[in-house]
């Protein structure tokens, strides 16, 4: 394609966002912070230590305020140059001359770990939304990792594969704007052409659609009934057929179980099923081998197993990973992502494409401070203007070769001499010949990955590469795949990708690409924050520290500082707790750590208090959120800092000195949000609720505290 045609068919646009007024406000708050530090330091010098107790309070306050200034500078850096990316999926047909076969294949990964905390109905809805994406079905394959080794989850997915033969053609025929069944049937009532994106259809067409809608809703309700009535013991008790491998399997100690629930390629040769299933992507269930004598590395280990299993089965050059409760809300999500993955002149600008997290069914005004609209609109867009948005653990499109540790510029136009040797690949990827050959095809980019005619013929090979001992002596978890060593494997893996020189792009179509369920209770939210903070501090204290990556690799300095915005969450806890306790201590001890109201110096902390809170409230208003949402997040920030972050800080300290080990805690997914009619949930559709997603918690002084999910 000529440069003129590429310019005409520009798939994406990088649009800088104006922020002049906010920059002036940033500088105003910074000047007040510096003035407060200067005033306190000069007061300490002039006092000469005459009052030891009072001096101690002022020294503690000075240290805390200096830390707050550092945090403010980190956030200023992250927010300074915001950008957004506008994508044009309608131009893809012209880019590929109308040939869909030229679109790259996508392997879609869904992870679940506990059938009780993450109900099978939730996972099924996510899988069905992915199978129904507007993308060539032969180019999509969906892999579900079940770390709970649950026969109920496998049964639910098998039933979902059958339902998909009806659901996928229905959604594509009627142009459904959301493809997760629970959201579709909650937000529509079968009301005719308007519901399915058409306009002014004839009465008979509307009647036909209503009959189809009613029939499909009945089918979905029957699917939900079968899944919810399924019992683990009764399924395993059969001991034959599809669930024989689950007999005697223990969640923490069992062999690999891989089942091809639907094979798109093999279905094409079955004429009696072609009409129903030809448009349904492949669906594969994976429960990796577990052993009590081998580490399994939590979600990072599961993702690496999916990467290897998919490599020997379908080997798509693009991989999408989502959590089990984050469904595809925009049916063109994959096409929007392709605009960013293919639309740059140099692929270095899109090592991965991350969609911001949006939530359905959120409580009004975010009482528990776990929504994320503010952080992605303010901090997220700002970081997108640096080396790129962080990897958030879900809703992300990866280049497979980037996950294989290939640096930018490698593979393009490579000669045979440049191709890595078999021994080099064996040392890096392991002993599987099939995996080595698939990795070579991805790394060299010289030939399209070989297609497997029958996925079931490769199941034994897939089981080999998913063995818990396969990674021993290889680069998996270090230079290849998701990185081990932190509870927040997503941030750690993203840092490794950026440190290799790749950039990332922010995917923010309208409507949002993906919607997930936020915890609707305080304890669940605090558990999530504790897990994130624990993993972030593990990164700071490891060889993956952003400063070390910036000094020794290709992580840009401003991107390094942007990573520190979230990496220092648990470090902030002791400073914020100390500052919060200074007031009560001084009140009891009849001391003061602030100037008296009659003193000229009182103007500085007063102005800082008013300016900071006005700035913070202004961010919420700018994000179309209420003052109550701002207040709720301020309140939850104090609770989070003094509980979840502080516990994370102590956990990592105890682990560092060898007195404790970190434990991965799964967050409960709210199944009730995916059941019943809109009236049963107070008339709120998940789609409408997502449009009102609340803002994130905000710290003092001035950082929105929500993060990517794990």
Cis-peptide, bond into residue 701, ω within 30° of zero: yes
CA 53 to chain centre: 48
User: Which of 147, 206, 263, 325 is an active site residue?
Assistant: 147
Known binding residue 530? Answer is: no
Tell me the three state secondary structure of residue 209: helix
Is 325 among the residues known to form the active site?
A: no
Token reading at 637 = 């920030």
- DSSP character string of 351-394: SEEEPPPEESSPPTT-TTSB--HHIIIIIIHHHHTTT-PPP-SS
Report helix, strand and coil shares of the chain as percent, to nearest 5: 55, 10, 35
Known binding residue 299? Answer is: yes
Known binding residue 272? Answer is: no
Strands 504-506 and 358-359: unpaired
Angle 371-515-257 from CA coordinates, rounded to 5°: 115
Q: Is the dihedral of CA 215, 220, 221, 226 positive or negative?
A: positive
User: Which of 114, 146, 490, 567 is an active site residue?
Assistant: 490
Neighbours of 552 (CB within 10 A): 10
Q: Which of 445, 363, 453 is CA-nearest to residue 406?
A: 445
Residues 168, 190: Cα–Cα separation, whole Å: 17
Place of tokens 């204290």: 541
Known binding residue 118? Answer is: yes
Q: Is the dihedral of CA 127, 133, 137, 138 positive or negative?
A: negative
Return the bridge partners of 328, or none.
514
Is 490 among the residues known to form the active site?
A: yes
Token reading at 578 = 């100390």
SS3 of 18-62: the string is CCHHHHHHHHHHHHHHHHHHHHHHHHHHHHCCCCHHHHHHHHHHH
Strands 396-399 and 358-359: unpaired
Residues 684, 706: Cα–Cα separation, whole Å: 24
Residues 6 or more apart from 115 whose CB is under 8 A from it? Answer: 148, 150, 152, 153, 232
Q: HSE on the CB side for 354, CA within 13 Å? A: 26
Residue 110, phi then psi, degrees to nearest 5: -120, 130
Cis-peptide, bond into residue 390, ω within 30° of zero: no
Q: Packing angle between helix 646-656 and helix 569-589, nearest 10 degrees?
A: 110
Q: Which of 321, 244, 288 is CA-nearest to residue 462?
A: 288
Return the bridge partners of 253, or none.
250
CB-based burial, 288-305: b 16+ in 10 Å, e otherwise:
bbbeeeeebbbbbbbbbb
Catalytic sites, residue numbers: 147, 490
Residues annotated in a binding site for Mn(2+): 299, 323
Residues annotated in a binding site for UDP-alpha-D-glucose: 118, 147
Residues annotated in a binding site: 118, 147, 299, 323
């Amino acid at each position: 394609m000529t440069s003129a045609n590429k310019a005409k068919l520009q798939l994406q646009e990088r649009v800088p966002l104006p922020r002049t007024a906010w920059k002036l406000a940033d500088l105003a708050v910074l000047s007040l912070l510096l003035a407060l530090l200067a005033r306190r330091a000069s007061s300490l010098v002039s006092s000469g230590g005459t009052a030891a107790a009072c001096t101690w309070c002022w020294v503690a306050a000075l240290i805390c305020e200096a830390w707050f200034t550092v945090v403010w500078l980190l956030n200023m850096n992250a927010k300074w140059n915001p950008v957004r990316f506008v994508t044009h999926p309608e131009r893809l047909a012209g880019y590929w001359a109308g040939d869909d076969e030229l679109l790259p294949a996508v392997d879609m990964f869904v992870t679940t770990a506990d059938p009780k905390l993450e109900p099978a109905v939730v996972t099924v809805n996510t899988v069905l939304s992915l199978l129904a994406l507007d993308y060539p079905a032969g180019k999509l394959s969906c892999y579900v990792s079940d770390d709970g080794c649950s026969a109920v989850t496998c049964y639910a997915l098998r039933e979902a594969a059958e339902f998909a033969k009806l659901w996928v053609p229905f959604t594509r025929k009627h142009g459904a704007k959301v493809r997760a069944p629970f959201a579709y049937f909650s937000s529509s009532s079968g009301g005719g052409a308007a519901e399915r994106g058409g306009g002014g259809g004839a009465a008979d067409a509307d009647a036909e659609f209503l009959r189809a809608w009613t029939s499909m809703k009945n089918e979905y309700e029957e699917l939900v009934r079968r899944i919810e009535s399924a019992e683990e013991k009764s399924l395993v008790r059969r001991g034959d057929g599809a669930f024989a491998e689950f007999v005697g399997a223990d969640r923490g100690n069992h062999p690999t179980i891989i089942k091809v629930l639907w094979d798109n390629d093999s279905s094409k040769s079955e004429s009696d099923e072609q009409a129903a299933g030809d448009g349904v992507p492949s669906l594969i269930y994976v429960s990796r081998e577990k052993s009590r004598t081998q580490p399994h590395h939590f979600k990072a280990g599961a993702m690496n197993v999916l990467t290897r299993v998919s490599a020997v089965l379908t080997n798509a050059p693009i991989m999408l990973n989502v959590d089990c409760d984050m469904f595809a809300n925009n049916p063109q999500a994959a096409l929007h992502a392709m605009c960013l993955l293919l639309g740059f002149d140099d692929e270095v600008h899109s090592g991965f494409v991350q969609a911001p997290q949006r939530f359905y069914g959120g409580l009004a005004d975010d009482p528990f401070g776990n929504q994320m609209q503010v952080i992605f609109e303010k901090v997220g867009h700002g970081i997108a203007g640096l080396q790129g948005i962080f990897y958030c653990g879900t809703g992300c499109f990866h280049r497979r070769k980037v996950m294989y540790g290939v640096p930018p510029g490698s593979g393009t136009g490579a000669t045979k001499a440049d191709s890595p040797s078999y021994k080099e690949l064996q040392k890096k990827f392991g002993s599987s010949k099939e995996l080595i050959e698939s990795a070579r095809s991805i790394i060299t980019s010289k030939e399209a990955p070989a297609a497997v005619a029958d996925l079931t013929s490769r199941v034994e090979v897939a089981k080999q590469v998913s063995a818990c001992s396969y990674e021993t002596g290889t680069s998996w978890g270090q230079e290849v795949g998701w990185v081990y060593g932190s509870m927040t494997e997503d941030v750690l893996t993203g840092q490794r990708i950026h440190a290799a020189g790749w950039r990332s792009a922010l995917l923010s179509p309208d409507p949002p690409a993906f919607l997930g369920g936020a915890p609707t209770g305080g304890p669940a939210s605090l558990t999530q924050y504790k897990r994130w903070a624990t993993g972030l501090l593990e990164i700071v204290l490891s060889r993956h520290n952003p400063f070390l990556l910036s000094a020794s690799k290709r992580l840009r300095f401003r991107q390094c500082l942007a990573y520190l915005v979230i990496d220092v969450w648990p470090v902030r806890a002791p400073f914020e707790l100390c500052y919060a306790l200074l007031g009560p201590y001084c009140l009891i001890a009849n001391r003061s750590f602030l100037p008296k109201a009659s003193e000229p110096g009182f103007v500085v902390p007063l102005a800082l208090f008013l300016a900071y809170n006005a700035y913070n409230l202004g961010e919420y208003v700018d994000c179309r959120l209420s003052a109550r949402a701002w207040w709720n997040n301020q309140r939850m920030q104090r609770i989070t800092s003094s509980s979840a972050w502080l516990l994370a800080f102590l956990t990592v300290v105890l682990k560092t000195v060898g007195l404790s080990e970190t434990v991965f805690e799964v967050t409960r997914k709210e199944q009730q949000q995916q059941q019943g009619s809109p009236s049963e949930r107070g008339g709120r559709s998940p789609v409408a609720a997502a449009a009102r997603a609340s803002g994130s918690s905000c710290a003092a002084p001035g950082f929105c505290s929500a993060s990517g999910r794990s």
